[in-house]
């Protein structure tokens, strides 16, 4: 009950201080408001950017390792040594079969190849700049696709390399306007393919990276009929092998170790020789992005820190004035038996409440920021950042109010009463 009484009285005094000299109080709290706004706005924008970029990388799959010729980022740090990577062989069908037979710590494995800027035709209609994908077995287990019309490729169609295709939303819309494409025929490099499925619209992602909307998926053995791929060197298309790890293999440590050992054995690499392949993981790109955004977060804290420092001095000034104005009341409370800690907490809570008003004002400005359109960037104020803003405001209130509160608590009741 005592704590509740302290809080209620402190809130009342804080509100009275706020109303008694509104302009002075607003100017004093402005530093806290600007500081909280600067920090939480930067953190919110950084979190939103990071989330949107990671969502844009979802097309790479989750819990997946890629065996490829080119690494996503420079291996071992430093410069991207493209001249070394260029000499590497591309993954082959034989390597895929070898890994498929020997890997234990995996849930799915697929070989695939892609061809950009493809032209897809249907009678007199055509659409260009399409990504043509040749998908192997388990491809649909690694990448999530919603196919409301028709179906995905069957195991028999993939292994036998039949001329069947699954169309992305925009491809189906362009070639078959107001028509159901299932069962119809399209042409790719003068080869006819039967449409067996159509993928649900995914929309453009934040980074503008390709989605399945502008994609046509055919069996891997079918794309090999029109493009050379999967032989290891000087291919028209570079093949990749995607391996989805087991959910029990935390961090895919065991899978990566297995992969490296089997591939080095298959390629006959000696212990002193470097890997002639890249084991790419989407998390590496995400971590690189996170590292860049950490710099922006630090900048936000620095900018907001100076504003909050000014705001802290402003609140301390209000509290010193408040102690001077209420010296007589403090003396009366002490003469009636109020303890030092009661006076201390009364002023400390008042300081915290004043700081929270400034902090909540800053959070309100950040919330309004989320309504401003930023193109494809979706800005969201997270609960974590709200709690952080309230927490930082409370700390500022404690630091700014501790000295005035301690001075009030140490006042001699007789001297305080005489000052009235």
* Percent of all residues in the chain with a pLDDT value above 70, rounded to a whole number: 85
208 and 324 share one domain: no
Taking alpha carbons only, the member of 311, 349, 314, 405 closest to residue 13 is 349
Tens digits of per-residue pLDDT, 349-369?
878 888 888 889 889 988 998
> 215, 244, 273: which is the final residue of a domain?
244
Asked if residue 266 is part of any domain, the answer here is no
* Structural domain containing residue 356: 2-56+287-418
Q: Which helix (H) or strand (E) holds 311?
A: helix 282-325
Q: Is residue 45 part of a domain?
A: yes
Which comes out higher in pLDDT, residue 377 or 1? Answer: 377
138 with 22, same domain?
A: no
Better pLDDT: 85 or 216:
216
For position 314, what pLDDT does the model report?
Answer: 80
Instruction: Flag whether 162 is in a domain.
Output: yes
Q: How many angstroms from the chain centroid is the CA of residue 408?
A: 48
Q: What is the pLDDT of residues 246-260, one digit of tens each?
A: 878 777 888 889 999
Residue 26 contacts by C-beta under 8 Å, 6 or more apart in sequence? none
Domain boundary among 229, 244, 259: 244
Whole-angstrom distance, CA of residue 153 vs CA of residue 130: 19
Q: Which residue has the higher pLDDT, 22 or 205?
A: 22
32 and 134 assigned to the same domain: no
Structure confidence by residue, pLDDT tens digits, 262-273: 999 999 998 888
297 and 239 in one domain? no
Same domain for 210 and 112? yes
Q: Are residues 307 and 391 in the same domain?
A: yes
The predicted model scores a pTM of 0.66
Reading the block at residue 121, the tokens are: 């035709």
DSSP letters, 120-185, are EEETTEEEEEEEEEEE-TTHHHHS-----EE-PPPHHHHHHT-SEEEE-HHHHHHHSTTS--TT-E
pLDDT of residue 317: 81
- Asked if the model's pLDDT at residue 287 lies above 80, the reply is no
151 and 42 part of one domain: no
Asked whether residue 293 falls in the same domain as residue 379, the answer is yes
How many domains, in total, are found in the chain?
Answer: 2
Question: What would the pLDDT profile of 9-54 be if each residue is shown by its tens digit?
Answer: 666 666 766 676 677 777 777 878 888 888 888 888 878 877 777 6
More confident residue, 39 or 332: 39
* Mean local confidence (pLDDT), 298-319: 78
User: What is the C-alpha end-to-end distance of the chain, expressed in Å?
Assistant: 30
**161 dihedral zone (left: phi>0; alpha: psi -120 to 50; beta):** left
| Structural contact between residues 390 and 310, judged by C-beta atoms closer than 8 angstroms | no
In a domain, 394, yes or no: yes
Contacts of 320 (CB under 8 A, 6+ apart): 404, 407
**Do 40 and 129 belong together in one domain?**
no
Are 408 and 331 within one domain? yes
Domain end marker among 220, 244, 268: 244
Taking the C-alpha atoms of residue 170 and residue 333, their distance in angstroms, rounded to an integer, is 76
In a domain, 411, yes or no: yes
Of 175-179, 375-379, 396-400, the one with minimum mean pLDDT is 375-379
Asked if residues 172 and 258 have their Cβ atoms less than 8 Å apart, the reply is no
Q: Tokens at residue 72, please?
A: 């996503």
Q: Specify if 238 maps to a domain.
A: yes
Query: Would you place residue 221 in the very low, low, confident or very high pLDDT band (cuts 50, 70, 90)?
Result: very high
Tell me, yes or no, whether 101 lies in a domain. no
Residue 151 has pLDDT above 90, yes or no: yes
Residue 262 covered by a domain: no
Chain centroid offset of residue 167 CA: 29
The model's pLDDT over 223-244, given as tens digits with 9 standing for 90+, comes to 999 998 988 777 788 899 999 9
Same domain, 319 and 202: no
Q: CB of 18 within 8 A of CB of 361? A: no
Q: Are residues 144 and 212 in the same domain?
A: yes
């Amino acid at each position: 009950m005592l704590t509740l009484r302290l809080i209620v009285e402190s809130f009342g005094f804080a509100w009275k201080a706020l109303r008694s000299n509104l302009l002075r109080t607003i100017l004093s709290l402005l530093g806290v408001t600007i500081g909280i706004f600067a920090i939480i706005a930067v953190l919110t924008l950084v979190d939103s950017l990071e989330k949107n970029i990671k969502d844009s990388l979802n097309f790479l799959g989750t819990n997946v390792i890629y065996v490829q010729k080119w690494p996503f980022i420079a291996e071992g740090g430093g410069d991207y040594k493209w001249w070394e990577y260029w000499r590497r062989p591309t993954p082959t069908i034989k390597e895929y079969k070898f890994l498929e037979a020997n890997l234990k710590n995996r849930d799915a494995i697929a070989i695939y190849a892609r061809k950009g800027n493809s032209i897809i035709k249907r009678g007199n209609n055509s659409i260009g700049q399409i990504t043509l994908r040749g998908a192997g077995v388990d491809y649909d287990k690694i990448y999530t696709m919603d196919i409301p019309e028709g179906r995905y490729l069957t195991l028999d169609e993939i292994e036998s390399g039949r001329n069947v295709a699954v169309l992305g939303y925009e491809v189906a819309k362009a070639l078959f306007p107001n028509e159901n494409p299932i069962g119809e025929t399209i042409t790719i490099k003068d080869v006819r393919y039967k449409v067996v499925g159509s993928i649900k619209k995914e929309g453009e992602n934040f980074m503008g990276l390709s989605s399945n909307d502008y994609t046509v998926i055919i069996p891997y053995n079918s794309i090999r009929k029109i493009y050379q791929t999967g032989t290891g060197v000087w291919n028209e298309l570079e093949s990749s092998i995607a391996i989805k790890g087991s959910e029990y293999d935390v961090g895919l440590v065991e899978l990566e170790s297995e992969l490296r050992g089997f591939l080095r054995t298959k390629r006959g690499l000696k212990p002193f020789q470097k890997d002639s392949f890249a084991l790419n993981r989407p998390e590496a790109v995400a971590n690189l992005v996170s590292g860049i955004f950490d710099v922006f977060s630090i900048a936000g804290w620095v900018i907001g820190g100076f504003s909050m420092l000014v705001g802290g001095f402003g609140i301390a000034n209000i509290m010193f004035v408040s102690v001077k104005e209420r010296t007589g009341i403090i003396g009366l409370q002490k003469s009636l038996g109020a303890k030092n800690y009661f006076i201390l907490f009364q002023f400390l809570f008042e300081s915290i409440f004043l700081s929270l008003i400034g902090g909540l004002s800053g959070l309100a400005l950040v919330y309004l920021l989320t309504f401003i359109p930023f193109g494809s960037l979706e800005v969201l104020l997270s609960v974590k950042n709200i709690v952080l803003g309230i927490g930082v405001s409370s700390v500022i209130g404690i630091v700014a109010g501790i000295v005035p509160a301690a001075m009030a608590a140490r006042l001699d009741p007789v001297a305080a009463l005489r000052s009235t």
